[in-house]
Amino acid sequence: MSEKRTILIRYDEIGLKGRNRKYFEKILLKNIRRSLPKDKGIEYRVPRGRILVDLPESAVEECTEHLKLIPGIASFSVGVSVEPDFDGMAALGVQWIEPLLTSRGKLKFCVRTRRSAKTFPHTSPEINFEVGSRIMTQLCPKGLVVNIKESEFTLEIEIGSKETIVFDNRHPGLCGLPVGSSGNVLCLLSGGIDSPVAAYLMACRGCRVHFVFFDNQPFLGRGGYEKVLKLAKSINRYQGRAKLFVVPFQDIQVAIRDKCREENRVVLYRRMMYRIADAIANEFEMPGLVTGESLGQVASQTLENLAAVTCVTSMNILRPLIAMNKEGIIRHAKEIETYEISIEPQPDCCSVFMPASPVTRGKIPILENDEERIALKELQEEALKNMETINVDYL
């Protein structure tokens, strides 16, 4: 059998974007090229509405692992170029399906053909029938059934003028939009469970997500920083490179602790974080801030408190987790493999000087009155001046 393989990549929502389709397609192709190895003789083709990747058989496993992590791909299938005869096509189908039958009982399957070379002497339904019945002859006794509507294994055949390719069952992709198609955003990344999930969700909406971490070592030591760096690298598996801004936050926390009302501390910390994030996002042209806030999760995330932090900036505030419960967020975090990093021990920066009973309905005039007691502008400028910028790679 040929050593050459072809991976057929189907896009998610890109196909629906009318005249913008070319733009999204170009970005997705660039992202795919960037993720797949450069030295394996891989070639790309973009016939209408899909992407085809030609590669040696030896590179298939590595490439499929990469393709599973690229936002914007709906699904993909690995195909083998064959002689256009029914026996050969059916033999491949048997080879792929048979191992799935042993343990499962019944398996629903169908054959789907696309024929762009109209010179081939059979119609698509005829090809489906000829190949499908050959497979059934061999595998029906082992539990294979034909079911077009609810197929669990679809053998796809593409008959072109130059070659015939038979594709294995589809691998699901991440769906969403290709990273870069929606622009840049800045995610407030804390080291907890929530914010990495928020960053991932925005990457799947086509954003390149950069990160800002408010670091309060000496109180926490270097631990917080290392953990956030690890999280950023882990999220970058889905988007490639991004920047991580590390902002020293201890002076601000001390000032708020010493000068402001105790119950307002958490909301006041958050207002400072939003102001500083706003300044960074403006400088680097990132028209959106992303947070892992979820309504009602903790005292600082009531509607009133969220409003009291939102109003310090005119930026888009993107809160993809706002309506999710903790269980759902944890499930997501496990799926995207950030959970294990997030639960490594590290005290939350806001919990260092956590008030005994934090305010649940922060009043803006009272918060402003608190802020008049600290050197807000100077503290903010000092933090920005001492900020560290790191170009983060992926894990």
In angstroms, what CA-CA distances link 338 with 195, 212, 289? Answer: 10, 17, 20
Q: Are 312 and 275 contacting, i.e. CB atoms less than 8 angstroms apart?
A: yes
CB of 359 closer than 8 Å to CB of 267: yes
- Residue 82's binding partner out of Mg ion, ligand ATP, none, with CB under 5 to 8 Å set by partner kind: none
The three state secondary structure string of 215-264 is ECCCCCCCHHHHHHHHHHHHHHCCCCCEEEEEEECHHHHHHHHHHCCHHH
Q: Using the rule CB under 6 A, give the single segment among 40-48, 56-64, 80-88, 188-196 that binds ligand ATP.
A: 188-196
Q: How far is the CB of 144 from Mg ion (least distance, A)?
A: 48
Task: Answer whether 56's CB lies under 8 Å from 78's CB.
Answer: no
Question: Does residue 194 interact with Mg ion by CB under 5 A?
Answer: yes
Q: Does 234 bind ligand ATP (CB under 6 A)?
A: no
Segment contacting Mg ion (CB under 5 A): 31-39, 191-199, 214-222, 345-353?
A: 191-199
Site for ligand ATP in 281-310 (CB under 6 A): 291-293, 298
Contact 213, 196 (CB under 8 A): no
For residue 248, give Cα distances in angstroms to 42, 62, 168, 172, 378. Answer: 45, 40, 52, 41, 13
Give the closest residue to 56 by CA, choosing from 76, 72, 36, 70.
Answer: 36
Residue 250 phi/psi, 5-degree rounding, is -65, -40
Minimal distance, residue 186 CB to ligand ATP, in Å: 10
By CB under 6 A, the count of residues binding ligand ATP is 18
194 or 215: CB nearest Mg ion: 194
Q: How far is the CB of 295 from ligand ATP (least distance, A)?
A: 11
Chain residue whose CB lies nearest Mg ion: 194
- Give residues 193-232 in contact with ligand ATP (rule: CB under 6 A): 193-195, 212-214
Write down the least CB distance from residue 205 to ligand ATP, Å: 16
Q: Which does 135 bind (CB under 5 to 8 A by kind): Mg ion, ligand ATP, none?
A: none
Q: Which residues contact Mg ion by CB under 5 A?
A: 194
